[in-house]
Amino acid sequence: MLEDTYCKDFGRPAKEPEMMCKLLFLQHLYNLSDEKVQVEARLNLAFMYFIGINPEDELPDKSLLSKFRTHRLGEDTLDGILTEMVRQCVENGILQGSSVSIDATHIMANTIKKTDHELTSSWIQKAKDILYDPKFINQKGVRSIVDEDARVGRKSKTESFYGFKAEFMMTTVERIITAVRTGHGAYLDGSFMNEILELTLKSGMTIEEVYGDKAYFRKPILEAIEAIEAQPFIPVSSTVYRIDESNFTYNKDSDEWSCSQGNTTVKKKYFTSKNKDGERQGYKYYFDIEQCKACPLHDLCAKKAARRILTVGLNTAEFYDISQYQKREEFKEKYKKRASIEGKNAELKRFHGLSRARGYGLFSVSQQSKLAAIATNIKRIAAIASA
């Protein structure tokens, strides 16, 4: 995989790429700095055994490790290593399940304070550009002159963070990561769903079930899962499905909505409208006017109108069917599988340094996320193979 990044006939002989990769795997397995992994590799016999060297052998300088990571390990190469790792797991019977989970975890940016003598004219100009950018006030644009790729994101409605997001797919049974994608802090979960599914399938895995939280309940994501003939286990999100099921029920055979008082819609019309967020499309369902007038809840429900008009989105009827299925015990029992990915999130952050970025920029954090995923896979494969 790394052969094309080297020249066979020019320059000094390169250090063995496999050894360099193993040093990086150890670094992320034990959350070590470049200097510390070099020290451990010179003293720790287990490290030497894994790397494939003898105690008297020379190790590459720590600066070479940084250069190797920056110039040799591209995004595609790390994707290839991760995919090949999963492919070998499938081939050797370590991976036998057909269900995967997807989730995203936040990574704090590695921002630092600059001293006065470091604030050159170029830094000052960048700071001015940020301050005068209207996106700065809205917390949507560049927020740091140290790491210009980082963004403000939200952990919850009341808590925000500054940095990046790593999104990964993992097998629910064996808990092996199959694909990773990284975005800035304001990244919308599931934006790389097609790529993540493609990389997972490329390894030879068969996907029959896909688990995710409410953030992944969006039409494009559901369609991507349907396209590979898998079944989604993703709870309905109130942001895209806004029907009060205590007041309205839907009959898909007759394409009619009924209210809690037994009144049924008699016609529907397609509509489009524009607002500050863009164009909205959907349907308006009209209830029977005579039944509405005779209803004791008319003034509360229809207000000043003669009858109730129910406005729904293009996919509301389809989402209603999904919401009914998710109320069954079958779905609730199946969905428990997703919990395993929360543990993997915590593992990556607590033991493998993914709570905070090591370097600066999206490329550096993406490398860190993928190397951390490879490290946890090595650990997990060893545990499964030795069980």
Q: What is the pLDDT of residues 37-85, one digit of tens each?
A: 999 999 999 999 999 889 888 888 778 888 888 888 888 899 999 999 9
Q: Which of 141, 188, 180 is nearest to 162 (CA)?
A: 141
Residue 6 burial (CB count, 10 A): 12
Give the whole-angstrom CA distance, residue 193 versus residue 173. 20
* pLDDT confidence band for 136 (50 / 70 / 90): low
CB 337 within 8 A of CB 211: yes
pLDDT given at position 178: 97
**Token pair 């920056």: residue:** 70
- The helix (run of H) or strand (run of E) holding residue 168 is strand 160-171
User: CA gyration radius for the chain?
Assistant: 27
- The helix (run of H) or strand (run of E) holding residue 265 is strand 265-275
DSSP states of 46-113: HHHHHHT--TTSPPPPHHHHHHHHHHT--HHHHHHHHHHHHHHHHHTTS----EEEEEEEEEE----P
* Cβ-proximal residues to 39 (8 Å cutoff; 6+ apart), any chain: none
Parallel, antiparallel or unpaired: strands 160-171 and 151-154:
antiparallel
Taking only the tens place, the pLDDT of each residue in 317-360 is 889 999 999 999 999 999 999 999 999 999 999 999 999 999 99
pLDDT given at position 115: 45
DSSP category for residue 330: H
Percent above pLDDT 70 for the chain: 89
Record the pTM: 0.83
pLDDT given at position 113: 45
Give the whole-angstrom CA distance, residue 284 versus residue 271. 7
Cross-strand pairs, 104? 167
Task: Copy the structure tokens of residue 111.
Answer: 């921002």
Give the whole-angstrom CA distance, residue 293 versus residue 354. 61
Give the whole-angstrom CA distance, residue 255 versus residue 68. 61
CB 287 within 8 A of CB 264: yes
pLDDT given at position 240: 84
pLDDT given at position 323: 92
Phi, psi dihedrals of residue 170, rounded to the nearest 5°: -140, 145
CB 371 within 8 A of CB 24: yes
- Inform me whether the pLDDT recorded for 221 exceeds 90: yes
- Residues belonging to the chain: 387
Residue type (1 letter), 281:
Q
- Inform me whether the pLDDT recorded for 132 exceeds 80: no
Phi, psi dihedrals of residue 48, rounded to the nearest 5°: -60, -40
Three-class HEC string of 170-195: EECCCCCEEEEEEEECCCCCCCCHHH
- Inform me whether the pLDDT recorded for 86 exceeds 80: yes
- Inform me whether the pLDDT recorded for 10 exceeds 60: no
pLDDT given at position 246: 87
CA atoms within 13 A on the CB side of 309: 11
Determine whether 365 is exposed, middle or buried from the number of CB atoms within 10 Å of its CB (0-12, 13-18, 19+): buried
Phi, psi dihedrals of residue 336, rounded to the nearest 5°: -60, -25
